[in-house]
Structure 1
């Protein structure tokens, strides 16, 4: 590693990513079009998150943190029964997607939203359970790493207030995001790689876009 991990560096990566999303979204999200559409996916997902990904890739490369960000080092194994969590949510996401009414959604819109969701899953996992986790592990035990990384991930959803959601709605999102962040953390630990958490993140978010509440 070019730079020794420290908690403040990991937190700076996460905050930097969030600031990029906030600023770029407020600047370009004048008329994203209606969901679901290619225009909505490009302006709401691909463009702002893509800029954030550029920042994350540059930061992770400069720090030399790719290996610890993407792969687990030898750590105490989690109990096998915790596989229930990622398998349950993966199964639920697939079930919801298969049973969603997508008859009125053009295939090109579904593909564009899929591309945008890939960007979100990659970026958020690299920021919150990649760089942030690496920084926290330099000083804290795994209980603190789980708690802080999940809290920061959950708190990031407070930005939705700036995007038009009501405060009670956002507080509900924050509480749910803490739970999902915990599941993504467990998934990383169980699979031994951040790619496992990215895949589950993608499945959950993508299926969620086609639920009636969307």
Structure 2
């Protein structure tokens, strides 16, 4: 994979996206065969998460791909990430799904911890930086955000109806663009990881009624539009955050400090 990254960072990102999709598909099929959702998928993604952390860390790319905390000035510029929290809280009035038992809940939590980290690292880390190196931050924001949203079409295989899928893709594109703006502004994927985990867990542990989902999705879209415009304004004032390699491996790749819009 490292050689592929050196030759083509974009195909490197695409390869990880494909691997994630295939692993989730195989895990879901095996879980269904065993009679309980996520029993294979969750452990499989734990393994993939560990592999990716070791892979990125071994090559000194943690900082470059945004696996670091935001810096102090980032909090004020991003309104202390409070709009992200508002998106999560919108899920709670739907009510807890009482059909879930303790093991179901544990599997959902483990799965979403991994999904949140993996998708942010791959889409807002690998893919965003690969596009930014060649095309600049603006295209990286749009392409990584839209690709992330459209990628949710694979959930049709998880039993989602057409209406639920269309709603999810629309909301995922909006959230993807907001999270890409946050990465461009702060250089960190971690706020997106936290949001991704919390919104997925709250969504999976609450009831799934199409009417309620429509209300929640509308609220999330409104927050995304308003917050997105605020982030665009801040990005124009501050410019994209510089990508950087880890201190222990700054010479690993010259592009770790390139890609800034001119």
**Alignment TM-score > 0.5, same fold:** yes
Return the alpha-carbon distance in structure 1 between the equivalents of residues 153 and 165 of structure 2.
6
Q: Which residue of 2 aligns with 1:36?
A: none
Pick closer, same or farther for the CA change 1:92–1:140 going to 2, 3 Å.
same
Deviates more, 1:6-15 or 1:95-104: 95-104
Q: Which residue of 1 aligns with 2:151?
A: 156
- The structure having more radius of gyration, on CA atoms, is 2
Structure 1 runs of 4+ aligned residues shifted over 6 Å read none
Q: Which residue of 1 aligns with 2:175?
A: 180
- For residues 29-178 of structure 1, what are the structure 2 equivalents within 5 Å? 29-33=32-36, 40-43=37-40, 45-54=41-50, 56-57=52-53, 60=56, 65-71=61-67, 83=79, 86-94=81-89, 96-97=91-92, 100-101=95-96, 106=101, 109-178=104-173
Return the alpha-carbon distance in structure 1 between the equivalents of residues 110 and 156 of structure 2.
25
Deviates more, 1:107-116 or 1:96-105: 96-105
TM-score normalised by length of structure 2: 0.62
Deviates more, 1:58-67 or 1:148-157: 58-67
Please give the secondary structure, in 2, of the residue aligned with 1:117.
Answer: helix
Deviates more, 1:197-206 or 1:164-173: 164-173
TM-score normalised by length of structure 1: 0.74
Q: Alpha-carbon deviation of 1:125?
A: 0.9
Matched residue count: 202
CA deviations 1:154-187 (Å, max 9, x no partner) are: 1221112223323343222211110111222233
What do you get for the CA RMSD once the two structures are aligned? 3.4
State yes or no: 1:206 paired with 2:210. Answer: no
State yes or no: 1:17 paired with 2:20. Answer: yes
Q: Alpha-carbon deviation of 1:150?
A: 1.2
Question: 2:31, 2:39 within 8 Å by CA — same for their partners in 1?
Answer: no
Deviates more, 1:151-160 or 1:109-118: 109-118
